[in-house]
Amino acid sequence: MRAFVFPGQGSQKVGMGAELADASAVAREVFEEVDDALGQKLSAIMREGPEDVLTLTENAQPAIMANAIATLRVLEKEGGIALADKGDCVAGHSLGEYTALCAVGAFSLADTARLLKLRGQAMQAAVPVGQGAMCALLGADVEKAQALADAAAEGQVCAVANDNDPTQVVLSGHREAIERAIALVKEHGIKRGILLPVSAPFHCPLMQPAADAMAEALEKTPPQALRLPVYANVTASLVSDAAEERRLLVEQVCGRVRWRESVIAMQAAGTTHFVELGGKVLGPMIGRSVQDVEVTSVVTMEDIESLIKAL
């Protein structure tokens, strides 16, 4: 069995998609369609920066999606590979769940871009700049991370936001609580705590205003039928019902990204090959979470051509 997976925030960088756009009219069409849907030249920001503008959540989210879908479209249209024929399921990390849904026809490309732009804006607006923070814990499993979060909270929000793999967990919440957590890592047997360069505390209860905004947006633009089932971030389980997936996308804004559990669940269901489209960040996490699987990360035209031969 094969799973196609899609990266989340943090995988953006200036120059992303440029080589693909230069080599393929199919990729250029994707970037143009996203530009048109958003009414902005996002493709120019992706290609040329500046980096701080690309890193803004409202730009990074649709940019990462556009890059992954461009990769997929080249694979499909130039390689004659249909995702629904070659895959058994899809999954994405945080915003990547929207990319996965676009890939299986639940959202159009234009709607996905608009939803992610709104999601980024709503997440940014939910907490005043400087009041929230996130940190990555290296050498921590989810149990150690939870114990640390509980100890550091002191009446503030300090939550496990991302359970990425057995060695990397991310905390999110009030800045003071996150700073306390970083100061306490050694006491909890954790190697390091690193403050992340993010503009808001994602995937924690402070994001409730953004969850409300996405509930309203998804009411107007609900997901349609899925050509392949998706592993939802908040449950780490398979979803094929569009109405259920809509509810889970709202929960996802404040909820934990259960990526490690999702990967384990996919392997338990029989997945032996993971294909990451548009990034090289999920591959290492997958490799640390499960054994005896094949992981392919696809970013360049060369990567796409190699995958076409392999499929």
41-80 tens-digit pLDDT: 999 999 999 999 998 999 999 999 999 999 999 999 999 9
> How does the average pLDDT of the chain come out, rounded?
97
Q: Is 9 helix (H, G, I), strand (E, B) or coil?
A: coil
Spatial distance between the Cα atoms of 180 and 190, rounded to a whole number of angstroms = 14
Place of tokens 């389980």: 237
pLDDT class of 239 with cuts at 50, 70, 90: very high
Task: Decide if pLDDT at 179 tops 90.
Answer: yes
Structure tokens at 197: 């360069």
Q: Provide φ and ψ at 105, rounded to 5°.
A: 85, 10
Check residue 118 and give its pLDDT: 98
Task: Decide if pLDDT at 129 tops 90.
Answer: no
Predicted TM-score (pTM) of this structure: 0.97
Check residue 199 and give its pLDDT: 80
Q: Hey, which residues are catalytic here?
A: 94, 203
Instruction: Name which residue leads in pLDDT, 55 or 165.
Output: 165
Check residue 9 and give its pLDDT: 87
Task: Decide if pLDDT at 254 tops 90.
Answer: yes
- In this prediction, residues 87-105 reach a mean pLDDT of 98
Question: Which domains, ranges and CATH numbers included, belong to the chain?
Answer: 2-126+206-310 (3.40.366.10), 132-198 (3.30.70.250)
Task: Decide if pLDDT at 11 tops 90.
Answer: no
Spatial distance between the Cα atoms of 260 and 231, rounded to a whole number of angstroms = 12
Spatial distance between the Cα atoms of 73 and 79, rounded to a whole number of angstroms = 9
Cα–Cα distances in Å, from 170 out to 148, 204, 205, 254? 11, 11, 14, 14
Check residue 270 and give its pLDDT: 98
Check residue 81 and give its pLDDT: 92
| 58 within 8 A of 12, measured Cβ to Cβ | no
Q: Which residues does 193 contact at the CB level (< 8 Å), separation at least 6?
A: 135, 136, 137, 138, 181, 182, 185
Task: Decide if pLDDT at 198 tops 90.
Answer: no
